[in-house]
Amino acid sequence: MTEIEGVATVTDADFEAVVRAPGLPVLVEFTADWCGPCRQLAPVLGAVARQEADRLRVVQIDVDANPATAAKYAVLSMPTLMVFRDGEPVKSMVGARPKRRLLQELDDVVGPLGV
Cα–Cα separations (whole angstroms), residue 6 to 50, 67, 84, 109, 112 = 6, 24, 18, 21, 20
Catalytic residue check, 69 = no
Q: Find the catalytic residue in 38, 44, 78, 81.
A: 38
Identify the three-state secondary structure at position 69: helix
Q: Find the catalytic residue in 35, 45, 59, 81.
A: 35
Catalytic residue check, 38 = yes
Gap between the Cα atoms of 32 and 114, Å rounded:
28
- Positions marked active-site: 35, 38
